[in-house]
Structure 1
Amino acid sequence: MDPHDSGRIARSLETLHAFGYFAPEVQEELTRIGLEKGRMCYFASRSAPMGAVSPGTVAATFFVFNPALVAHRMDGAWTLASPEEVTAARYRGVSAAWGRLLGDLDPDDLAEAAELARTAARACSVAGRPLCAGHADLPWPDAPHLVLFHALSLLREHRGDGHVAALLEEGLSGLEALVTHTATGRGFTVAAAQATRGWSEEEWGATVADLAERGVLTPDGGLTEEGHSLRRRIEEATDRMAGQPWQALGQEGATRLAELGRPWVRQAVAGGAFPKGVFA
């Protein structure tokens, strides 16, 4: 497969993984076992497959979050619930959320999508990819909807780990990566990026000024020609490094998975998969 095509398909399905962090049912299950609502649930549930890792490890692998925010929100998390309890609660919540948002799917279509995604996910290389490796060590669920969720989680973390490598290759810090991504106009607004990733206006402004001196940004925070070239290189490298599982699935299988999944993405979003205020 062309890496750009596989990257486009991967991004089109990402919602079916991402609501596993934010749906109310997931938050309910995680707070029921003792975690604090909001960011602790996100940080702990996503990192739990790696074990009881330190806040520094979480910040390193999540990359674009302010390490101080991660340290504050992860403080004591593993004393409230073990990583195994957190992962089990996450999957219970995902199952409940799936039933609410996507419980009316054709079971044959769901089973087909689950096996297509599993075929791709099993081809993920975990070398140098800690978040993907942690998820790969988890046992496969039995229910088709959870097989699909687990497979898409593996594919997402495989791609994300590679994306961090591409950012590092270009010499960007986590905050610089976030600032330049926001400057493309295809991601967060500046205010949303600062609020959700824990960066102050002063930290953001200093980074904009530094990137402007390096010729990546204009003084008002827009991308220069070099900045646009930088982001293109990053996305192309990310697509290349994420291509292995999609090559294993093949063009026909990947296209079919996208055809099945895209209407489900729209249905999940319309049904409230991402409620406001989850990071309160």
Structure 2
Amino acid sequence: MTSSTTPAPAAAALPPRAGRRCHGVLNTIHTTHYFAPDPGRELAALGITHPKAVNFAIRGAAMGAVGAGVITAAFYNYKPEVVARFVPEVWRTATPEDVLAARLRAVDSTLRRLLGEDAVSSPEMTEAAGLALRAAEACSPGGRPLYAAHAALPVPREPHLAYWHAATLLREHRGDGHLVALLDAELDAVEALASHTATGRSMTPKWNLATRGWSPEDWDAALDRLRGRGILDAAGELTEAGVALRQRIEEQTDRLDRAPYEHLGAAGVERLTELGSAFAGAVVRAGAFPGDLLGKA
């Protein structure tokens, strides 16, 4: 006796780099608060005023009152001595729980200002939040400390905050996997920054030094090491081998990050990318990021 049940059609395969493109628009929304004044105002009310202390606190609070070594390892590309100036002292000023609450208030005011009330309360925002949260269901915590810490936090009820929360989960999931690729490529923290800057798709040296705590001498020494490995040429441009290395890093990152986007499916990823692109474009047009943030120089 044969079954009359018709097998369900196979899900459409994801187009190449579909997950990477989707992550890119989601990460734009996640990143807005790092360049906004709102976190600084919220944390100043808790007694945390230095910009680097604010940065370490708002991203690290999900892991609890951890020490400088944990922050340095998880963030990867910050100068350890700079981290140690503010951590764990920051947790003696404010608890991680208070910082997390302040961060969410800051994200709320940032997104309302950049996107406007109509977008924040739109059906498209609710749809995007649902799709992003569905993708995040397939994220894996193993070997991913920042993702795992944020995954333990409750999902905010308001759609724009739920969307930001899901974008954060997907960003940290990809970011934690990206560190595996950097380690496999044997790039230390400054070499990773400098070689990425050489692609023209990352922060300029000025912004890397200002935000990550490295000195110009640290940066120049990293450039020399990259030249010694044949990754950069004498002018500081990526060599053919350097281009291939950065491509391998991104492809390995894609492989390690494929689960959430495969779980969402090709149609869902396409729709989330469409919705996310509109929101990302809006915050960029609203001036969320400095005009000189990205580039080689």
What TM bracket, shorter-length normalisation? over 0.9
Q: Distance in 1 between matches of 2:125 and 2:104?
A: 17
Q: Which has the larger radius of gyration?
A: 2
Find the counterpart in structure 2 of residue 10 from structure 1. Answer: 23
Aligned counterparts, 1:4-43, within 5 A: 4-43=17-56
1:104 aligned counterpart, secondary structure? helix
- DSSP-derived class of the 1:14 partner: helix
Per-residue deviation, 1:3: 5.3
Q: Which residue of 2 aligns with 1:177?
A: 192
Whether the 8 Å contact between 1:15 and 1:265 is mirrored in structure 2 is: yes
| 2:113 paired with 1:100 | yes
Give % identity: 47
In structure 2, the partner of 1:226 is 241
Counterpart check, 1:168 vs 2:183: yes
- CA distance in 1 between counterparts of 2:88 and 2:49 reads 10
Name the Cα RMSD after superposition. 1.7
8 Å CA contact 1:59, 1:65 repeated in 2: yes
**Residue 262 and residue 20 in structure 1: after superposition, are their counterparts in 2 closer, same or farther (change >3 A)?**
same
**CA displacement at 1:20 relative to structure 2:** 2.7
For residue 258 of structure 2, what is the aligned residue in structure 1? Answer: 243
Aligned to 1:187, which of 189, 192, 202? 202
Query: 1:180-236 CA deviation, whole Å, 9 max, x = no partner?
Result: 111112212223222222211222112211221121111232111111111010000
- Tell me if structure 2 keeps the 8 A contact 1:136–1:154: yes
Shift in Å at residue 75 of structure 1?
5.2
The CA distance in 1 between the partners of 2:95 and 2:189, in whole Å, is: 28
Tell me the amino acid that sits aligned with residue 154 of structure 2.
P
CA distance in structure 2 between the aligned counterparts of 1:246 and 1:49, rounded to whole angstroms = 24
- Residues 61 and 130 in structure 1, CA contact (< 8 A), matched pair in contact too: yes
Q: How far apart are the structure 2 equivalents of 1:275 and 1:184?
A: 19
Corresponding residue to 2:226 among 171, 195, 211: 211
Q: Note if 1:61 corresponds to 2:89.
A: no
1:7, distance to aligned residue in structure 2 (A): 0.6
Corresponding residue of 1:129: 144
**How far apart in 2 are the matches of 1:271 and 1:211?**
37
Q: Deviations over 1:18-76 (max 9, x none)?
A: 11333222221121122124121111100110111111211111111111122223351
Q: CA 1:208–1:275 in structure 2 vs 1: closer, same or farther (change >3 Å)?
A: closer
Residue 271 of structure 1 and its aligned partner are, at CA, apart by 2.2
Within 5 Å, which residues of 2 pair with 1:77-96? 77-96=90-109
Q: Which residue, out of 150, 156, 160, partners 1:145?
A: 160
**Structure 1 residue identity aligned to 2:145:** P
Q: Which runs of no fewer than 5 residues in structure 2 stay unpaired? A: 1-13, 292-297
Please tell me whether residue 197 in structure 1 is matched to residue 204 in structure 2: no
**In terms of mean alpha carbon deviation, does 137-146 or 21-30 score higher?**
21-30
In 1, distance between residues paired with 2:41 and 2:271? 34
Measured in 2, the distance between the counterparts of 1:141 and 1:272 equals 25
Match of 2:5 in 1: none
Letter matched to residue 73 of structure 1:
F
**For residues 205 and 146 of structure 1, what CA distance do their matches in structure 2 show?**
40
Question: Which deviates the most, 193-202 or 168-177?
Answer: 193-202
Contact in 1 for aligned 2:139/2:170 (Cα 8 Å): yes
